Homo-oligomer: A and B are copies of this chain.
Amino acid sequence: MSSYSSKWIKVSEPVPHVLLIELSRAPVNAFCTEFWVAYGKLFDALTADGYDVRAAVLTSAFPKYFTAGLDLHDASALGSSGADTSLDAARASHSTRKHLLAFQHAIGAPERAPFPVIAAIHGHCIGLGVDMIGVCDIRYAAKDTKFTIKEVDIGLAPDIGSLAFLPKITGNHSLVRELTYTARGFSADEAREFGLVSRVVEGGRDEVVREALALATFVAGKSPVAVSSAKHLITHSRDHSVPENLAYTGAWNAAALMTNDIRDGLLATAKKEKPRFASLTVQTKLPKL
């Protein structure tokens, strides 16, 4: 598993099929371009390789910071060529947009993975950190977490995912707007109250990681056909109407219901045993793209 680790991202498999992904760019996990490129590549590689992951926990290696967000010392971080006034503005804008789409694509990689990703949040979770957790499946926060949608304070609207995700995943538009326009901090409890996180864990990094791993381990025991189908279909549901989602689900499950996992699950239940399921991914020689 360690082969997936990279300079600033530590990947381990504390339980079979359960990954622990730790962000570890000291001291505060500030994201330069190289960091988010590596982040996107990690998830896309796991997905392309068909590595048999059944749930993953995303967290930070540093107790005080989940992430401080964008590394403002990285000249290219904002994707803006604004400083370089020698550039034609349309061309600069073309370049910035290309940068933003690549950035969104990298941060959105967990959604493309066939396994659930659980964010175990703690300490400061600032700016890009909120974009990152929005695209995860499930969010647990340590009691000590302090969230800030910081972008407005540096003169820009969040553009890597927060505004796309927050209104949909929480349902509380008044508060999402208030938090975005003011860039004020909010606590784990407030985050839970409006639905951003589904559980607040007493304590800090260690406690929330422990609970998130327990959840991941529990999910990893389920049929990967069932879990990854559910993940895919909930994501589809978020972006489509009820009739569209039902039609798509009909086409999807027409294939998925042919799985032997149903038979195996029922048999195991009948025998009061714990079922064992095969990897979702067939070993194929698909080219990596």
Residues in chain A within 8 A of chain B (CB atoms): 33-34, 37, 40-41, 55, 72, 76, 78-83, 85, 87-102, 104-106, 108, 114, 116, 137-139, 151-159, 161, 163-178, 180-183, 194-199, 215, 218-219, 222-223, 225-234, 237-243, 245-266, 269, 277-282, 284-287, 289
Given contacts A154-B265, A163-B249, 13 further A-B contacts (CB under 8 A): A72-B266, A90-B260, A92-B282, A138-B177, A153-B222, A159-B249, A161-B242, A164-B249, A166-B237, A167-B234, A182-B222, A183-B222, A238-B241
* 9 A–B contacts, CB within 8 A, in A order: A91-B278, A97-B253, A151-B230, A154-B262, A156-B256, A157-B230, A159-B252, A163-B245, A173-B238
Flag if A280 contacts B94 (CB, 8 Å): yes
* CB-CB under 8 A for A100 and B253, given A164-B245, A280-B94: yes
CA gap between A269 and B138 in the complex, in Å = 34
B181–A230 touching, CB < 8 Å: yes
Would A265 and B174 be within 8 Å (CB), given that A90-B255, A237-B164, A255-B89 are in contact? no
CB contact between A258 and one of B89, B99, B105, B168 (< 8 Å): that residue: B89
Question: CA A264 – CA B82 in complex, angstroms?
Answer: 12
Closest to A38 in B: B287
Query: Which one, B152, B175, B230, contacts A230 given CB within 8 A?
Result: B152
Could you tell me the distance between the alpha carbons of A199 and B265 in the complex, rounded to whole angstroms? 35
User: Per a CB cutoff under 8 Å, which of B104, B197, B246, B252 touches A246?
Assistant: B104
For this chain, the copies found in one complex come to 6
A238-B138 in contact given A82-B258, A262-B156 (Cβ < 8 Å):
no
In whole angstroms, what is the CA distance A250 to B229 when docked?
14
Known contacts A99-B286, A174-B197, A289-B37; A91/B139 CB under 8 A: no
From B55, B116, B177, B242, contact of A165 by CB (8 A): B242
Nearest chain B CB to A266's CB is how many angstroms away? 6
- Which one, B91, B102, B286, contacts A102 given CB within 8 A? B286
Are A238 and B242 within 8 A (Cβ)? Answer: yes
Cβ of A72: which chain B residues have Cβ within 8 Å of it? 266
- C-alpha spacing A176/B166, complex, angstroms: 15
B97 in contact with A251 (CB, 8 Å): yes
**Residues of chain B with a CB closer than 8 A to A256's CB:** 90, 93, 156-157
Question: Complex Cα distance A173/B232, Å?
Answer: 13
Complex Cα gap A182–B161 (Å): 26
On whether A177 and B234 interact (CB within 8 A), knowing A163-B245, A164-B249, A239-B241, the answer reads yes
Please determine whether A259 and B154 come into contact, CB atoms closer than 8 angstroms.
no
How distant is the Cα of A94 from the Cα of B223 in the complex, in angstroms? 14
